[in-house]
Amino acid sequence: MRRSVTILILLLVSVPLVNFGYFIFRYIALGPINDCEVRLVDVYVSHIETDNAQIVAILEISNPTKKKVSMDGVKIDLYAEKIYIGEYTFNRTIVLDPGEKFTIPVNFTIYYSNVPTDFVRILVENKTKEIKWWASGGIYADSLFGTLEVPFNATLG
């Protein structure tokens, strides 16, 4: 009985310590990339076809820290209200000096057959400002321990 209690106490103490250690490890391994800010700056229709529309989503990553930041990629999932638009992966190293911003224009093709009629009307009339756009995803950085991700959520409208 005494051995069971000892094991239980060790488990109760070790789980929070392991979680805290992982948090510290991620912060040290990723450094100032944790403090980068991601914004969805604009979404607009760039081209209309009979069966689809091309839109451009402008994503901005800024470095508010006093240190240089290096990231190895960005993954973006774009949504209009509750409609999933698509996924985009930017696999290129981005280096941001303190206070610097980097803009990523992302092109998506939306087929009218995959979205509600009301949304098609918004696209055709180029009234993208009338709906809530949002993006989720992650900023990636390679480390000695593999690729680590800093998740983000950004909204427009």
Instruction: Read off the CATH number of the domain in which 22 is found.
Output: 2.60.40.10
Domain count for the chain: 1
Model's pTM, two decimal places?
Answer: 0.76
pLDDT tens digit string along 6-53? Answer: 776 776 666 665 555 555 555 555 567 788 899 999 999 999 999 999
pLDDT tens digit string along 47-65? Answer: 999 999 999 999 999 999 8
Token pair 């929070």: residue = 16
Token pair 């990723």: residue = 30
Domain hosting 122: range is: 1-155
Structure token pair of residue 105:
């224009």
